[in-house]
Amino acid sequence: MAGMPGRAALAVASLLCASITSVLAQTSTTSYRAIFTLPASAQNGLPVLPNINDPQAVNAQDVCPGYTASNVVRTPFGLTASLQLAGKACNVYGPDVDFLNLTVEYQSSDRLHLEIVPTYVDSSNSSWFILPEALVQKPTIDADADAVLDSDLNFVWSNDPTFSFSVIRQSTGDVLFSSTGYKLVFENQFIEFGSSLPENYNLYGMGEVIHGLRMGNNITRTFYAADVGDPIDYNIYGDHSFYLDTRYYEVDATTGNLTYAANATNASVEYVSYSHGVYMRNSHGQEVLLRPSNMTWRTIGGSIDLYFYAGPTQDKVTKAYQTSAIGLPAMQQYFTFGYHQCRWGYTNWSELQDVVDNFAKFGIPLENIWTDIDYMNQYRDFENDQGRFSYAEGAQFLSKLHANGQHYIPIVDSAIYVPNPMNASDAYPTFNRGNESNAFMMNEDGSLYIGDVWPGYTVFPDWIGSVLNGTGAFDWWANEMSIWHQNISFDGIWLDMSEVSSFCYGSCGSQNITLNPVHPPFQLPGEVNNIGYGYPEGFNLTNATEAASVSAASASQASAISATQAPTVSTSTVYERTTPSPSARNIEYPPYAINNVQGALGVHAVLPNATHHGGTVEYDYHNLFGHQIINATYHALLDIFQGKRPFIIGRSTFAGSGKWAGHWGGDNTSLWAYMFFSIPQALSFSLFGIPMFGVDTCGFNGNTDEELCSRWMQLSAFFPFYRNHNVLAAIPQEPYRWAAVAEATKVAMNIRYTLLPYIYTTFYLAHSTGSTVMRALAWEFPNEPLLADTSTQFLLGSSLMVVPVLAQGANTTNGVFPGVGYGEVWYDWYNQTSVTASAGQNITIDAPLGHIPVYIRGGSVLPTQQAGMTTKECRSNPWGLIAASSLEGTASGQLYADDGESLTLNATLWVEFSLTNSALYASARGMYNDTNPLANVTILGVGPKVNNVSLNGASISSGWTYDSSSQVLAITGLNNVTSAGAWSSDWVLNWA
| Number of neighbours of residue 128 by Cβ within 10 angstroms | 21
Higher pLDDT, 607 or 529: 607
Q: Read out DSSP for 744-760?
A: HHHHHHHHHHHTHHHHH
Give all domains of the chain, ordered by start, each with its CATH number. 52-326 (2.60.40.1760), 418-487+501-537+585-642 (3.20.20.80), 758-991 (2.60.40.1180)
The whole-angstrom separation of Cα 757 and Cα 874 is 9
Each residue's pLDDT tens digit, 127-163: 999 999 999 999 999 987 775 568 999 999 999 999 9
The whole-angstrom separation of Cα 428 and Cα 458 is 12
The whole-angstrom separation of Cα 965 and Cα 153 is 53
Longest dimension (CA), the chain: 90
Helical residues (DSSP H) of 259-373, grouped into ranges: 314-321, 349-361
* Residues labelled catalytic: 496, 499, 667
pLDDT tier, 61 (very low <50, low <70, confident <90, very high otherwise): very high
Q: How many CA atoms lie within 13 A of 357 on its CB side?
A: 8
Residue 571: per-residue pLDDT: 60
CB 480 within 8 A of CB 486: no
pLDDT tier, 568 (very low <50, low <70, confident <90, very high otherwise): low
Residue 561 dihedral angles phi and psi, to the nearest 5°:
-65, -45
Each residue's pLDDT tens digit, 667-707: 999 999 999 999 999 999 999 999 999 999 999 999 999 99
Q: Which amino acid is at 140?
A: T
Residue 29: per-residue pLDDT: 36
Residue 544: per-residue pLDDT: 80
Nearest one of 456, 461, 452 to 501, comparing CA atoms? 452
pLDDT tier, 583 (very low <50, low <70, confident <90, very high otherwise): confident
> What secondary structure letter does DSSP report for 112?
E
pLDDT tier, 576 (very low <50, low <70, confident <90, very high otherwise): confident
Each residue's pLDDT tens digit, 938-964: 999 998 899 999 999 999 999 999 999
Percent of the chain scoring above 70 in pLDDT: 95
pLDDT tier, 566 (very low <50, low <70, confident <90, very high otherwise): low
Cα angle 914, 915, 918; round to 5: 150
Nearest one of 660, 694, 328 to 493, comparing CA atoms? 660
The whole-angstrom separation of Cα 531 and Cα 408 is 30
Is pLDDT of 28 > 50?
no
Q: Report the pLDDT averaged over residues 44-63.
A: 96
The whole-angstrom separation of Cα 304 and Cα 784 is 34
Pairing verdict, β 451-453 and 214-215: unpaired
Residue 540: per-residue pLDDT: 86
What three-state secondary structure class fits 886? coil
Q: Sign (positive/negative) of CA torsion 700, 706, 710, 711?
A: negative
Nearest one of 882, 851, 850 to 866, comparing CA atoms? 882
Calculate the average pLDDT of the chain.
94
Residue 570: per-residue pLDDT: 53
pLDDT tier, 551 (very low <50, low <70, confident <90, very high otherwise): confident
Is pLDDT of 6 > 60?
no
Each residue's pLDDT tens digit, 928-940: 999 999 999 999 9
Is pLDDT of 22 > 70?
no
The whole-angstrom separation of Cα 259 and Cα 172 is 10
Residue 31: per-residue pLDDT: 42
Q: Using omega within 30 degrees of 0 as the cis cutoff, is the peptide bond preceding 517 cis?
A: yes
Residue 147: per-residue pLDDT: 52
| Number of neighbours of residue 217 by Cβ within 10 angstroms | 17
Which of 9-23, 333-347, 619-633, 712-726 has the lowest average pLDDT? 9-23
Residue 1: per-residue pLDDT: 60
Q: Which amino acid is at 488?
A: I
pTM: 0.95
pLDDT tier, 557 (very low <50, low <70, confident <90, very high otherwise): confident
